[in-house]
Amino acid sequence: MDGILIAFRLAKYDKNRASELVKRLYGQATSSHGGRYRYRRRGLLDDVPHRRLIRGVLILRAEDADRVAGKFVGLVAKELQEHGTIVEKYDVRRRESDVEAGIRYGYSANQVGFGWTNAVVLELLAQRERERARTVARRSRDPQTSQMTQHALR
């Protein structure tokens, strides 16, 4: 089984920001009234099989990483089509780029044409294209697939 190792850190460590990020990624168990009521808030990774190794390092299965990347690229493309721009921040739960009301750190407005987001989307698209090219090359070397392709082209 192939996996993708993801390591992340905050540029400027702030305990509150780090705590918020961890809660949003992994979810959070909470309780009230001395533990009588328990509740679990879901995290973004709840539906994605993963292994959390240490703080800031996790592993996703390759097929799940592709699915997560595809959803992110799809969100950026949807917002680009609707608004004509690529911005810095996206709400992946609501699938929207209208996040200004919830911005607590960094710029107070969602920055248009943000270079990091542009670069990530382009790299994810390039990776997807390279994988397609490898798949086509493998299939063309397979005699049975090659014969079926030639037959379909006739």
The DSSP code for 98 is -
Total of domains in the chain: 1
Residue 93 has pLDDT above 80, yes or no: no
CB atoms within 10 A of CB 6: 14
- Give the residue with greater pLDDT, 84 vs 65: 84
CB 86 within 8 A of CB 100: no
Q: How far are the Cα atoms of 12, 16, 87, 89 from residue 104, in angstroms, in the given order? A: 14, 11, 16, 12
Helix (H) / strand (E) element for 31: namely strand 28-32
- Give the residue with greater pLDDT, 81 vs 31: 81
Percentage of residues in the chain with pLDDT exceeding 70? 88
pLDDT band at 12 (very low <50, low <70, confident <90, very high): low
pLDDT band at 88 (very low <50, low <70, confident <90, very high): confident
Report the pLDDT value the prediction gives residue 149, as an integer from 0 to 100.
52
Domain extent, residue 50, equals: 3-153
pLDDT band at 8 (very low <50, low <70, confident <90, very high): confident
Rounded CA gap, 124 and 127, in Å? Answer: 5
Rounded CA gap, 45 and 152, in Å? Answer: 41
Residue 129 has pLDDT above 60, yes or no: yes
**Rounded to the nearest 5 degrees, what angle is found at the Cα of 78, between the Cα atoms of 124 and 6?**
30
